[in-house]
Every structure is written in C-alpha cells, then in structure tokens.
Amino acid sequence: MALIIFDYDGVLADTLDDLLQFGQEACNTLGVKHVVEKDDLSHLEEMSFASYGRACGVAEHQVDEFVQICLKRFAEKQSPPAIFDGLSHVVRRLAGHNTLAIVTTNSAQNVHVFLAEHGLSGCIQAVYGVDSPGSKAQKISMARDRLSADIKQGSVFMVGDSLSDMRAAKETATTSIAVTWGHQSLEHLLRGDPDHVVNFPCELIEIIKE
C-alpha cells in the first residue's frame, strides 16, 4: 500500500484553456495590459496563481486580487474541467489498494466539485488546497503525517506537472513522478530531477506497483 499525492491542475484536470482565459480576464479587470499566453505558465519556477499573476505583469499589491478573481471564475464555471483521458480508470485502480490525496494551489471546493462530476469523490481521502495553510511541501508533509500510518516506509509518491511539484517532493523526501501531459515542458520538469517521468496515465500503475 502506498500514499499517492496528486497535483490537480494539469495532472488530473485539463485546465489549461480555463487558466489562460481566467488569467486574461483577471488582467483586464485589474487594468494590466498583457496578452496571456501558455509561456506565462510553462516557465514558472513555482506553479501557483500568485506566481502566474506576477508572470503576467500584475503588480504585487494586486496579486491577491488576481488570485481571487481566478479562483472565483473556476468556482462559477458551469461545468467542472475535463479529466485527462485514462485518468478516471487509473485513479479508481490506484484507490483500490492505496491511499490517495490531492495537494493543489486551486481551492478545495473547486477540486471537490471536479471529483464529484467525474465520480471520483470516494477515491480521494483528503484535499489540501490554497485554503489550507502552508507551502506545497508543508502540505505534502501534512498529508504524510495524517494519512500514511499504514504505509510502508518509502511508499509515498507525488504526481505533478510542474518544476515546483518536483522540488516540493524532493524537499519532503517523497518519490516524485513527473507527468508530461500538463502545463510545463519535460525540459523544465527535468530541472527538478524527478524520480520517474510518465507520458501516459497507465504508466502510473506500473511505477507504483514496483
């Protein structure tokens, strides 16, 4: 049995188009003259809404407002984001013999709506969102402390799509798995020296079995 911690945006949820749209709307609302592009996300050292806003040229005193606008737009969206192909099956398979959690810079409420939409609520034991205190590394540690009582030593995984996910995993001595279908390039992810790299969701099952 293992503890498997997933990032949300770009790993489970296909939110790229939403992130670009909502980021642009936030910039427009705040009077920031910037055309939002994927590069604003793909080169971030830390994947968060605050860092995203700064990359778009949002002034520091407006960053919190940028974050709140984006989170509110996700919450107001009529339908939750799509899940990447194959991941519903993989999550259900993994949940059968492991403990699953989510650590994200999105809100826990938005994640729970997404999980309910895709029939996965019963598969995830805990969600640590932007509304939970601490850095991503601290939230990984919190998940380990609370959920890994029956986990054998070393069987904790962080599945992420960003450089900061890989670094947070290293900081907490957690096995890191980089996915290539998310918001950052493989070249950028490799700077975080991930323990594993996967190109397709089904590969997660084999790595965690090992």
For 17-43, write each residue's pLDDT tens digit. 999 999 999 999 999 999 999 999 988
Residue 153 pLDDT: 57
SS3 134: coil
* Cα–Cα dist 91/202, whole Å: 10
Worst-scoring range by mean pLDDT, 83-92, 110-119, 151-160, 195-204?
Answer: 151-160
CA distances in angstroms from 16 to 21, 23, 111, 115, 209, listed in the order given: 9, 10, 15, 18, 30
SS3 29: helix
Burial category of 70 from C-beta neighbours within 10 Å (exposed 0-12, middle 13-18, buried 19 and up): buried
Domain map (residue ranges) of the chain: 3-14+81-209, 16-76
For 80-108, write each residue's pLDDT tens digit. 999 999 999 999 999 999 999 999 999 99
For 127-180, write each residue's pLDDT tens digit. 999 989 999 999 999 999 998 766 665 589 999 999 999 999 999 999 999 999
With a cut of 60, say whether residue 124 has pLDDT above it. Answer: yes
Name the helix (H) or strand (E) containing 35: none
* Structure-block tokens of residue 152: 């054998």
Task: Classify domain 3-14+81-209 by CATH number.
Answer: 3.40.50.1000
* Residue 77's pLDDT band (cuts 50, 70, 90): confident
| The model scores a pTM over 0.75 | yes
With a cut of 90, say whether residue 192 has pLDDT above it. Answer: yes
Helix axes 63-76, 16-30, angle to 10 degrees: 130
